[in-house]
Chains A and B, each alone.
Chain A
Amino acid sequence: MTPGARPTEPAGGEAGSTMASTPKASGAGANINHPVGAGTWGVAGAVAWRSMHTYLRRPDLIVPSLVFPLVFLASFAGGLSALGSVPGFDFPAGYTAFQFVFVLTQSALFSGLFTGFTVAVDFESGFARRLMLAAGNRRGIVLGYALVALSRAAITLTVVTSVALLAGMRITGDGVDIFGLYGLALLLVIVGYGWAAGVAFRFRSIQAGPLMQTPVFLILFLAPVYVPLSLLKGWIHAVASVNPATAFLGAGRGLISGVHEHTALAFACALGLVVLFAIWTLSGLRAAERST
């Protein structure tokens, strides 16, 4: 197959089942005798190249991942801007920045989740099973999809940030704060991916999609999405107070505005979840190995 030619698409629609024989895959660490490389990074590179190649060439994958965060941003930052005038609402960077952090968090988590969908689709099409048979080090598969999640997130976060800035978002934090904000977002990508990939490796079907999405969706919306925690009342205040997403949003909003809040707690939570979901994903990989 010539470089750039569209490989045969298996059932399930994911291109690239013949990735092992493509010249570009060779460039990513593969060779003829060991199709996707024996080392962890060789496998990871090949998986990442193949999945990103598919992602970038399929509008049905890339467009929703860009459009939905923008719709959230438009709807919340545009449609709810009057909430910035609610008595007790005091956010120095303004309501657009306040909502941007929610959209950034949501985009980061869902970039990871959507990569979990890719894992599930690859299992349904049979590609992932063939990959597991061919890979010298199967942990490289997990790592490769993690690179895909991070790459997808980089595209989405760049677009969302650009649109927010064009829409007049103010950033009152300094450069270090913004570095911290995007560092936290990248950790959340891995959190979302870790959860979804663990589910995908166990169920090996896209029908497990609601199981991947629903808990994350619930956790996100049971946090202070529209107004700060101090303005929430009743049961939602009680739930949001113990929700880790509250720490992520609080820290993100603190970083973008330069008025730090729960930053250390948020990073500790994110790192804890990364470790927890790494174990969850690797044990899922073992479950998939047993079934292969």
Chain B
Amino acid sequence: MQIGALAKRSTLKTLRQPFQMFPIVFFPAMLLAVNASGLQSATRLPGFPTHSYISFAIAVAFIQGAMFSLINTGTNLAEDIESGFFNRLALTPMRRLALIVGLLVGVAALGALQSGIYIFIGLIFGAHLDAGVAGALVVIALGSLAATAFGAIGCAAALKTGSGEAVQGMFPLFFVFIFLSSSNLPRNLLKTGWFHTIATWNPISYLIEAFRSLFIFGWDAAALERGFAVAIGLLAVGLGLVVLTLRGRLQRT
């Protein structure tokens, strides 16, 4: 009941603010369109796994969407802290963890929604989802999980700093992880040694490759296992940070 009410509030708060929804849809779609056209010639490289760069590149949109969840969730929570709403909630008999779990349930719902939108946009632009309808459901589930994981990290940042500006400042930092991954080319075609090493150690590469596998290979159990493992691992880290920072925040309250 408590979680449901907070989840509904979290979802509506994002959906009702066009300036929060706009970048979630616009930026990944725009980057997808630009990269898919600009890098189409990469499909002519020997060893490139598909002839459709858009099918290859659409995976990045899900990660970008998940990172926007980090910003939106963290900013919304920071606003609640700054406005005093969070403190008032904390003074009610509500269970402490419900304060955050409700928020994250809302993020999970939005993550599923945005993943559905990206699939729709990708199919319109000409992407091919090799794993079919069942694959689309897995993409939505993984997208939702990834959004929740990044949302939890955003919550931890908001609880720690209590500042929306500080949360916003984390966005470029996380974007670096996308850039230094196998986002634009498969790892076997990353010819620069140090870049290949970083991309191999970068967990975001495996998250991207899980989404990508469903679009261009169909069902690749190993890629999906690694992708879900990374998403669950990030969620565990995020929740651990939330527990720690929530304790500190409530002590201050």
* A and B together in one complex: yes
Interface string of B30-42 (1 = CB under 8 A from A): 1100100111111
B131 lies within 8 A of chain A by Cβ: no
Residue pair B41, A83 in contact (C-beta under 8 Å): yes
Residue B138, interface by CB 8 Å: no
Contact flag A79-B190 (CB < 8 Å), given A74-B180, A222-B34: yes
Known contacts A64-B172, A71-B176, A71-B179: A82-B191 contact under CB 8 Å: yes
Q: Which residue of A lies closest to B179 (CB)?
A: A75
Q: Whole-angstrom distance from the CB of A166 to the nearest CB of chain B? A: 13
CA–CA, A78 and B38, complex, Å: 17
Name A87's closest neighbour in chain B (CB-CB). Answer: B44
Task: Encode contact with B along A208-241: 1 for CB under 8 Å, 0 otherwise.
Answer: 0000000000100110111100011111100000
B interface, over-half SS: helix
- Please state if B41 and A68 are interface contacts (CB–CB under 8 Å): no
Interface residues of A in 231-265 (CB under 8 A from B): 231-236
Chain B residues with Cβ below 8 Å from A71 are 176, 179-180
* CB nearest neighbor in B for A84: B191
CB distance from A112 to the nearest CB of B (A): 18
CB <8 Å contact, B38 and A79: no
Q: Kindly list chain B residues whose C-beta atoms are within 8 Å of the C-beta of A291.
A: none
Q: Is the CB of A82 within 8 A of B189?
A: yes
When the two chains form their complex, are residues B184 and A80 in contact, meaning their CB atoms are under 8 A apart? yes
Instruction: With both chains docked as a complex, state the minimum distance between the C-beta of B7 and any C-beta of chain A, in angstroms.
Output: 28
Tell me the smallest distance from the CB of A211 to a CB of chain B, in Å.
12
Taking A81-B191, A86-B45 as contacts, is the C-beta distance between A235 and B37 under 8 angstroms? yes
Contacts of A78 in B (CB 8 A): 190, 192, 194-195
Residues of B within 8 A of A292 (CB): none
Which residue, of A68, A80, A85, has the highest number of chain B Cβ atoms within 10 A?
Answer: A80
Say yes or no for B104: interface residue by CB 8 A criterion. no
Q: Name the distance in Å between B124's Cβ and chain A's nearest Cβ.
A: 14
**Best-buried of B38, B176, B190 by chain A (most CB within 10 Å):** B38
Determine if B176 and A227 form an interchain contact, defined as CB atoms under 8 angstroms apart. Answer: no
What's the Cα separation between A77 and B191 when bound, in Å?
10
- B169 interface hit (Cβ, 8 Å): yes
Given the contacts A71-B180, A83-B42, A218 and B190 also touching, CB distance less than 8 Å: no
A79/B199 in contact, CB under 8 A: yes
Determine the residue in chain A with the shortest Cβ distance to B31: A221
> A79 and B41 in contact (CB under 8 A), knowing A68-B172, A221-B34?
no
Q: Report whether B195 and A74 are in contact in the complex, using a CB–CB cutoff of 8 Å.
A: yes
The proximity string for A residues 1-17 relative to B, scoring 1 for CB distances below 8 Å and 0 otherwise, is: 00000000000000000
| Residues of chain B contacted by A68 (CB below 8 angstroms) | 172
Question: Which residues of B170-199 have CB atoms within 8 Å of chain A's CB atoms?
Answer: 172, 176, 179-180, 183-185, 189-192, 194-195, 199
Residues of B close to A231: CB separation below 8 A: 41
Q: Quick check: B40 and A86 within 8 Å, CB to CB?
A: no
**Residues of A with C-beta under 8 A to B180:** 71, 74-75, 79
Q: Is the CB of B195 within 8 A of A232?
A: no
Contact of A225 among B30, B38, B195 (CB under 8 A): B38
Chain A interfacial positions (CB closer than 8 Å to B) = 60, 64, 68, 71-72, 74-75, 77-83, 85-89, 218, 221-222, 224-227, 231-236
Given contacts A78-B195, A85-B45, A226-B39, 4 further A-B contacts (CB under 8 A): A71-B179, A78-B192, A80-B39, A86-B42
Q: Provide 23 A-B residue pairs closer than 8 Å at the C-beta atoms, listed in order of the A residue.
A: A64-B172, A71-B179, A72-B179, A74-B179, A74-B180, A75-B180, A79-B183, A79-B184, A79-B185, A79-B192, A79-B199, A81-B191, A82-B42, A82-B191, A83-B45, A85-B45, A86-B42, A218-B30, A222-B34, A226-B38, A232-B40, A234-B37, A236-B37
